[in-house]
Amino acid sequence: MIYIYHIRPLSSFHIGFEGIGQERLDESFRSDALFGALLQCWQVLYDDNLEDIITEGPFSISSCFPVVKGQRFYPVPIGSLDRILKQVKGSDFKKWKKIRYISEPIFQKILNGNLTLCCMPEGKFLVEQPVQDISYASDLETPRIAIDPLTGTVMEGAFFYCINRFFAQDSGLFFLARFKNAETMEKFEASLRLLGDTGIGGDRSIGRGAFVFSRHDFILNLPNEADCWVTLSLYHPTQEEVTNGILQVSLYNFVKRHGFVTGIGARALRRQSVFMLEEGSVFFKKLSPVGDNPIVLRKGNGNCPFNVFRYGKAFCLPMKGGCFEYDT
């Protein structure tokens, strides 16, 4: 069973790139970061073995995507707009190249393989009808200084800028979740509620990242005779999948994930970097991509009290390939 969860921010968010600092924001809260944050809250509430949850996978989640004035937007399946781009001329071509997200009705058409040139680019969003104001969020840059915790004085050379994202009214984020049973969903929502209180992203200690959530039914009509798959999460293919050629019949982009451990008892330890496939990757295979959760820091390394995993399971939906120009 699949459900959609809307995240309504109660404060500004700082979803930064791992290991870079305060001066850049990521476009979305990625599936691996969301999974890790949820499991930390799960650990506070329940006595379940977290490693069993990671390996057995009683639930799977997508990355977070924009909700703009109540309307959900999905990532563009890679290559799905290529046929339309060939029909676009002049300055309109540049507008179409900026698109990163498509509205739910357009995403539904792509899933069924029948998208036509009847859409309107609005910044990085693609909509069916022209919109006067599609403002989603605004970023505010604030000067900050670092304080020495021992002396209470300003640390030398510790002046920096911090960017926080403020969401417009009726806007925020959403993600999809798939559960094996009702008990898992109950524990998941309890953990998500605690996560809303503690916050996501950076600067949680000063009130950033707080939110409330609401659950919605999954309303997309998935095609019965699908011939390909689109991912809505980061995806780390298994060695067996790579050997069987899943990357040879696919369209994808790489993203490097790295940073420090934030789990209790292992903070400030650096994790191994991992390359993953971005959201919107398309795979022309009959079997759905699966993926795995690679260990990025082993127990005992740097006195780490447990194995540290990077969530790389594929959350994907079936799709017809009618919008693609790809020789499988």
Model pLDDT for residues 241-255, shown as the tens digit of each residue? 999 999 988 999 999
* The two structure tokens encoding residue 76: 């563009």
Answer whether residue 317 shows pLDDT above 50.
yes
Average pLDDT of the residues of the chain: 85
Of the candidates 134, 135, 140, 101, which has an alpha carbon nearest to the alpha carbon of residue 12?
140
Render pLDDT for 136-162 as a digit per residue (tens, 0 to 9). 777 777 776 777 777 767 666 666 667
CA 192, distance to chain mean position in Å, is 15
Instruction: State the pLDDT confidence band at 34, using cuts at 50, 70 and 90.
Output: very high
Query: Three-class SS of residue 159?
Result: strand
pLDDT of 19 reads 45
Model's pTM, two decimal places?
0.88
Least confident range from 15-19, 139-143, 231-235: namely 15-19
pLDDT exceeds cutoff 70 at 26: no
Residue 87 gets the label, from left (phi > 0), alpha (psi -120 to 50) or beta, of: alpha
pLDDT in tens, 98-132: 899 999 999 999 999 888 767 778 888 988 876 66
- Say which residue the tokens 């977070």 belong to: 64
Amino acid identity, position 328:
T
Pairing relation of β-strands 101-103 and 125-127? Answer: parallel
pLDDT at 8: 94
Does residue 21 or residue 72 have the better pLDDT?
72
pLDDT tens readout for residues 196-220: 999 887 767 777 789 999 999 999 9
CA distance 267 to 289: 32
Residue 101 one-letter amino acid: Y
pLDDT in tens, 167-203: 888 889 999 999 999 999 999 999 999 999 998 877 6
Task: Report pLDDT digits (tens) over 261-291.
Answer: 766 665 667 778 889 999 999 999 888 999 9
The predicted pLDDT at position 20 comes to: 46
d(CA 128, CA 48): 45
